[in-house]
Chain A
Amino acid sequence: QSALTQPASVSGSPGQSITISCTGTSSDVGAYNYVSWYQQHPGKAPKLMIYDVTNRPSGVSNRFSGSKSGNTASLTISGLQAEDEADYYCSSYTSSHSWVFGGGTKLTVL
């Protein structure tokens, strides 16, 4: 199972919006609405930010939103804040009854 494809890095200024893409195949991202997104700060465990493509767990800011079109999912962060600077990973359930992650995207808040 190949890793999902994410951009290595994205950046934005405080207050702006950014979008991180996550491209898979018809066997994973395109097959199920089981895409999730994780935020990881240096030296910390990842944190669930979005599940089932669009849903936010309790306590996650509504500045974070998710979407999907075909084999590509996206995470949008609006009103960028300094504390959003982190690595972001997407994940998808697959038709092989396994899970796969994206390679990760480093978000820099300028």
Chain B
Amino acid sequence: QVQLVQSGAEVKKPGASVKVSCNTSGYTFTSYYMHWVRQAPGQGLEWMGIINPSGGSTTYAQKFQGRVSMTRDTSTSTVYLELRSLRSEDTAVYYCVRDSSQHAFDMWGQGTVVTVSS
């Protein structure tokens, strides 16, 4: 079955960077785009960007331009999210989410809690 397994919780200081991984299995990794979506405590969902695992091309939400990188490793079927210059407002659960090929989010990782605190 399709599985998206994310790395564990992180605690970071303001100004630091965080890198979250999402290891996939159960489907052809290069056939489906992958999104990253975050959810701050008690808040709604926020789209961060998308990566094409086949060629590595990316599109980022304007809000995160210059501060975010999404990469992939086809040998391990893993995608990565790196967010730099962290601030307290980046405290959130970060989800990797497969694109269904119908512009919808059909399979979600379990989420990674990132806490930014001094």
Q: Taking beta carbons and an 8 Å cutoff, which residues of A are in contact with B?
A: 1, 3, 32, 34, 36, 38, 45-48, 51-52, 55, 57, 89, 91, 93, 96-104
> Which residues of B from 15 to 46 have beta carbons under 8 Å from A?
35, 37, 44-46
For the complex, is B80 an interface residue (Cβ under 8 Å from A)?
no
A1-B61, A1-B62 known; A99+B102 contact, CB < 8 A: no
For the complex, is B100 an interface residue (Cβ under 8 Å from A)?
yes
Is A46 in contact with B61, judged by CB distance below 8 angstroms?
A: no
A45-B110, A101-B44 known; A36+B103 contact, CB < 8 A: yes
Q: How many A-B residue pairs have CB under 8 A?
A: 63
How many residues does chain B have at the interface if contact means C-beta atoms less than 8 Å apart?
Answer: 21
Is A32 in contact with B103, judged by CB distance below 8 angstroms?
A: yes
Is A98 in contact with B104, judged by CB distance below 8 angstroms?
A: no
For the complex, is B109 an interface residue (Cβ under 8 Å from A)?
yes
Contacts of A1 in B (CB 8 A): 61-62
Q: Which residue from chain B places its CB closest to the CB of A103 in the assembled complex?
A: B44
Contacts of B111 in A (CB 8 A): 45
Is B44 in contact with A98, judged by CB distance below 8 angstroms?
A: no
Is A101 in contact with B45, judged by CB distance below 8 angstroms?
A: yes
Contacts of B117 in A (CB 8 A): none
6 tightest Cβ-Cβ pairs between the two chains A and B:
A51-B104, A36-B104, A34-B103, A45-B108, A104-B44, A99-B47
Contacts of B35 in A (CB 8 A): 99
For the complex, is B59 an interface residue (Cβ under 8 Å from A)?
yes
CA distance A34 to B108 in the complex (A): 18
Is B59 in contact with A38, judged by CB distance below 8 angstroms?
A: no
Interface string of B50-67 (1 = CB under 8 A from A): 100000000101100000
A99 CB, min distance to chain B CBs, angstroms: 4
A24 CB, min distance to chain B CBs, angstroms: 14
Is B44 in contact with A51, judged by CB distance below 8 angstroms?
A: no
Q: Which residue from chain B places its CB closest to the CB of A93 in the assembled complex?
A: B103
B65 CB, min distance to chain A CBs, angstroms: 11
A1-B61, A45-B108, A99-B35 known; A52+B102 contact, CB < 8 A: yes
